[in-house]
Structure 1
Amino acid sequence: MSAANEPVPFEAFEGGAYLHGTKADLAAGDLLVPGRESNFEQGRLTNFVYFTATLDAAAWGAELAAGEGHGRIYIVEPVGDFEDDPNVTHKRFPGNPTMSFRSREPVRVVGEVRDWVGHSREKMRAMRDGLDALKRQGSAQIED
């Protein structure tokens, strides 16, 4: 895979649409709701639904999500209030350049991005190594 085809960090997706990356098999009209098992911590129920306006962040979500099968990226529409995701905006990227958000309200699936290209093996390995290091240090807590 060419790095030129990979998602570009901090670049808004087409038309300003919101995206959600996961391994779940969803359909248009489905609602993502808080209180379900986390995509990233087995046995943990989430208090929020997370989404982004960048293909890069959605691809990370799809690629790193727990579960079997391939990652999927859905176009979503929040049905209520939402806020910047403090796990990214305050801890790593002040100002929210990843355009990452969360909501206690449902988020509706309105479509799927089918032709996306994921991150290179090297970037995936580096991300997983970094996440593993955070877990070992006890710094991988999700502010939920």
Structure 2
Amino acid sequence: MTTEEVPQPFEVYGDGETYLHGTKVLRRTGDVLTPGYASNYRSDRVANHLYITKTLDAATWGAELASGEGRGHIYVVEPVGAVEDDPNVTDKRFPGNPTMSYRTREPVRVVGELLDWVGHPVEQVQHMRDSLADLERRGEAIIDD
């Protein structure tokens, strides 16, 4: 699967039914992802949910901001169970869930990978990293997981 689109905030990817997951972890088609492992963003924290989205922009941020080395990956995933709005985004920053961000305590299956996706400009990624680090320093980097 390929996409060469620059990610646009709030723009639903594909047919609107496709879920995406951004990470630095290498996965294969058919892999099943489950919660209960180190968070994508803090290796000292166990994630109780898997986070997925229907927008390329949010998945791109996930791939770019995840812990680890190298280029991120954006996977097309299929939830096995129920999903809910991600309260970290919808309740705090974007009421109504325009980012189409979700979480689940159930497994998700990798059904493909987006290749050749275009990331955010380096300066924008650094600004986001700096902003997140500032929240952490102020004790405001609270994640409802």
TM-score by length of 2: 0.94
8 Å contact from structure 1 (residues 13, 55) kept in 2 = yes
Identity of aligned residues (%): 62
CA distance in 2, matches of 1:15, 1:132: 35
What value does the CA root-mean-square deviation take over the aligned residues?
A: 0.9
2:131 is matched with 130
Give the structure 2 partner of residue 24 of structure 1.
25
Structure number with higher helix proportion: 1
1:1-144 paired onto structure 2 within 5 Å:
6-16=6-16, 17-144=18-145
Check the 8 A contact 1:50/1:85 in 2, yes or no.
yes
> What are structure 1's unaligned runs of at least 5 residues?
none
Q: Which runs of 5+ in 2 are unaligned?
A: none
4+ runs of 1 displaced by more than 2 Å?
none
Deviations 1:95-122 (A, max 9, x none): 0000000000001100000021000012
Amino acid aligned to 1:7:
P
How far does the alpha carbon of each residue in 1:22-63 deviate from its partner, in whole angstroms, 9 at most, with x for none? 011101111110101000012111110100000000000000
Secondary structure, aligned partner of 2:15: helix
Q: Tell me the amino acid that sits aligned with residue 35 of structure 2.
A: P
Superposition deviation, residue 82 in structure 1: 0.8
Letter matched to residue 10 of structure 1:
F
Does the 8 Å CA contact 1:6/1:120 hold for their aligned counterparts? no
